[in-house]
Amino acid sequence: MSRSHTKRILTELSAYNSSPPSPSQTGIVSLAPSPSSILSLSAILQCPSSSPPSLGYLGGRWLLSIALPTNYPIGAPIIRFVTKICHPNVKWETGEICLDVLGEKWTPVLGVVGALESIASLVAGGGDETSPLNVDIAKLRGMGDEVGARALVG
């Protein structure tokens, strides 16, 4: 990893720590590097207060792992839910997230904090049933079965 990549990561972490965004608005509770590698981070997200109570995510908190590729910020971070979450755009078994800004629509301007805000927004809004990684909850929501979907969410 080059010095410019390390500097970028440290700058992002410093900016976050000097003026952390409001968890109730952005969903980001904490963001920290791993003691063993600057390329490994962890974050805690909570469901932003803007989420409709009917979705069942309000009050939820989740641990996420963040792996930064050696070409970061050109390459998108690989972010996964460590804490299980039943969501149309999250693969239950692996925590993989289906979100365009973590793939083809990634831009270095977004950064790790922007990516986490996008994930929190995805959770708060209930997700996109048209490109699900969790087909079961996507089908229930697509059929309008909010009771069944809430039962899966918890």
Query: Quick check: 63 and 42 in contact, CB under 8 A?
Result: yes
Phi, psi of 64 (to 5 degrees): -125, 145
Residues 6+ apart with CB under 8 A from 23: 29, 46
Active-site residue numbers? Answer: 98
Q: SS3 of 95, please?
A: coil
Query: Quick check: 118 and 101 in contact, CB under 8 A?
Result: yes
Residue type, 127: G
CA–CA distances in Å: residue 150 to residues 56, 80, 98? 6, 22, 20
